[in-house]
Amino acid sequence: MRAIKLQQTIRGLILIAVIALCGLAVSCENDLCQDCEHDPCVCGNTDCNHIYGGLGITLAGYHDGSKDECITGAVTKNCLQCGEAITHINPCLGTQGLVFTWHEDTNDIDEYWDNEQGQMVQVTMEYPEGWVVTSNTGNRALDVVCIPDYWDDSGIRGKQPVSSIGLEAFGHRDFNNPSQVNSVTIGANVTVISNHAFHNCTNLETVTFAAGSKLETIGEAAFRYNKFESITIPASVTTIEDSAFQSNEELTTITFAQGSLLETIGPYAFANTNIESILIPESVTSIGDAAFRGCENLKDITSILARITVIGNSMFQNCTSLENVIIPANITDIGQEAFKGNESLITVTFAAGSQLETIGLEAFANCIELENITIPASLTIIGDRAFLQCTSLNLVTVLAVTPPELGEYVFYTLTWGGHPMSPTPEYNRIPNLEIKVPAASYFNYIGATGWSDYTNIIDMM
């Protein structure tokens, strides 16, 4: 009888030990239960096997978002609260991730990256939106950054999403003190990457957005002067702000996730990158000035032009690999310096039914290989120096019945004379140029302001 009672007592003690040790070690039965070995909180409702200590007892368990439960037969017992055992949910499986420490006296959180180095980054709270990752000067030595989906402060405010990466959180504008970050993974709940968040992270080679990303805004210069070669923009992003990816000279591939909701691409957003082509989502309604300026390897702009009605100022300036451009009928205005300096540009064709009204100042200046162009009937204004230094241009055909307003030095070359300390510009008409206009409008052209300067080279079609 005593032996039976002793056995029952031992079994009871084992059961208590099992419950107390719940969550100490975990192994997963399937891939859906991600990283249970380190973090049961990410398991969702997926069943896992919890192996408790060295007892050799395996129990089925799952996490329901607030607590870890151990199931023994028909009995469900609550084990450790998630916040007591787990400090964060880490989307960077297999890496060290972020470790948070709460300071009650200062009411803030220290986020330590790599415990061995003890590098510190501040995290602040903008309730109820969620945690915002900000920083101090300690971030310069970070090499791998992983922004978690949630931060749970163990009951002080409860589990909240990490929803924003703050101004200059890991980047800065000091070229003499570059950041060491080389890899970034951004949690699914981040909706805003603020201005200059990773600016001047010149070693940054990999940017990954967690599955199910809710990101909406990529801020001004957020990823300027980085080193990555490719990036996939989450479908949820609606706005890419000014200079967001500017001067990433190794960036060759930009992919927008299927179902993209992107609406706005800001000025200089992809300027001075190494892309050859880009497929712009159909949802885009606005692309800012100089968005692709200095993309020296860009060869195909068809997708870009299909999404806009105005080609902004300097949008394709110094895109020196462009050779043949078709301007679709939807384009109404070509901005200042839009194609300036495209030294390989041979042909510019306006699609049938063109609605083009304006060619801006120096729009095609310095396109030295351009030999001829036919200007559509809808055109009303040609800005100053629009074809300046187009030294190979030999034929301009103007279809407009009413002579468009013509600026100064539109079809001229430019040299500099005078004293080297105070040079003066010298303009001369492009040699061997012929201008053809509708026969019925010939006399209107040779008598019109601006056009009269070209009377001896204007002819009827």
Domain contains 146: yes
Do 127 and 16 sit in the same domain of this protein? no
Q: Please identify, among 85, 112, 130, the residue that sits at the C-terminal boundary of a domain.
A: 85
Domain contains 459: yes
CA 414-416-418 angle, to 5 degrees, is: 145
In this structure, what CATH number is given to the domain that contains residue 339? 3.80.10.10
CA–CA dist 428, 411 (Å, integer): 9
At residue 160, the pLDDT reads 66
CA–CA dist 259, 436 (Å, integer): 47
- Copy the structure tokens of residue 385: 């120096």
Do 50 and 137 sit in the same domain of this protein? no
What is the Cα 107 distance to its own chain's centre? 34
Domain contains 285: no
Please give the average per-residue pLDDT across 324-340, as a whole number.
98
Q: Is the separation of the CB atoms in 59 and 49 below 8 Å?
A: yes
β-pairing verdict for 217-218 and 239-240: parallel
Instruction: Give the model confidence (pLDDT) of 232-247 as tens digits.
Output: 999 999 999 999 999 9
Residue 215 CB-density burial (10 A; 0-12 exposed, 13-18 middle, 19+ buried): buried
Place of tokens 């297999």: 94
Report the number of distinct structural domains present in the chain: 3
- C-alpha distances in angstroms, 226 versus 180, 182, 229, 250? 11, 9, 9, 8
- C-alpha distances in angstroms, 319 versus 231, 368, 388, 389, 458? 21, 13, 17, 17, 31
CA–CA dist 291, 442 (Å, integer): 39
- Copy the structure tokens of residue 21: 């040790």
CA–CA dist 42, 154 (Å, integer): 16
Instruction: Give the model confidence (pLDDT) of 257-305 as tens digits.
Output: 999 999 999 999 999 999 999 999 999 999 999 999 999 999 999 999 9
Do 11 and 61 sit in the same domain of this protein? yes
Do 22 and 167 sit in the same domain of this protein? no
Do 25 and 161 sit in the same domain of this protein? no
Which of 42, 54, 45, 50 has its CA nearest to residue 14? Answer: 54
Do 186 and 333 sit in the same domain of this protein? no
At residue 163, the pLDDT reads 79
Amino acid at 34: Q
Do 112 and 68 sit in the same domain of this protein? no
Do 112 and 142 sit in the same domain of this protein? yes
Q: Please identify, among 173, 208, 228, the residue that sits at the C-terminal boundary of a domain.
A: 228
Please give the residue that has the higher pLDDT: either 411 or 84.
Answer: 411
Collapsing DSSP to helix, strand or coil, 442 comes out as helix
Domain contains 254: no
Domain contains 249: no
At residue 189, the pLDDT reads 84
- Mean pLDDT over the full length of the chain: 75
- Regarding pTM above 0.85, the answer is no
Measured from the Cβ of residue 34, the count of other Cβ atoms closer than 10 Å reads 18
Sequential DSSP letters for 328-349: -TT--EE-TTTTTT-TT--EEE
CA–CA dist 21, 50 (Å, integer): 10
Please give the average per-residue pLDDT across 351-364, as a whole number.
98
Q: Can you name the residues that pair with 155 across neighbouring β-strands?
A: none
Residue 78 in this model has a pLDDT that exceeds 70: no
Q: Please identify, among 62, 85, 108, the residue that sits at the C-terminal boundary of a domain.
A: 85
CA–CA dist 308, 315 (Å, integer): 12
Instruction: Give the model confidence (pLDDT) of 118-163 as tens digits.
Output: 333 444 444 334 555 555 434 455 567 777 776 655 545 556 677 7
Domain contains 338: yes
Q: What residue numbers bound the domain in which 367 lies?
A: 309-461
Question: Would you say the C-alpha torsion 385, 386, 391, 393 has a positive or negative sign?
Answer: negative
Which of 317, 274, 279, 314 has its CA nearest to residue 298? Answer: 274
Please give the residue that has the higher pLDDT: either 357 or 170.
Answer: 357
Residue 427 in this model has a pLDDT that exceeds 80: yes
Do 77 and 141 sit in the same domain of this protein? no
- Copy the structure tokens of residue 245: 């990816």
Place of tokens 């003890």: 118
Q: Is the separation of the CB atoms in 45 and 62 below 8 Å?
A: yes
Residue 93 in this model has a pLDDT that exceeds 60: no
Do 77 and 223 sit in the same domain of this protein? no
Cβ contacts of 375 within 8 Å, gap of 6 or more: 350, 359, 382, 396, 397, 398, 399, 400, 404
Do 429 and 335 sit in the same domain of this protein? yes
CA–CA dist 243, 224 (Å, integer): 7
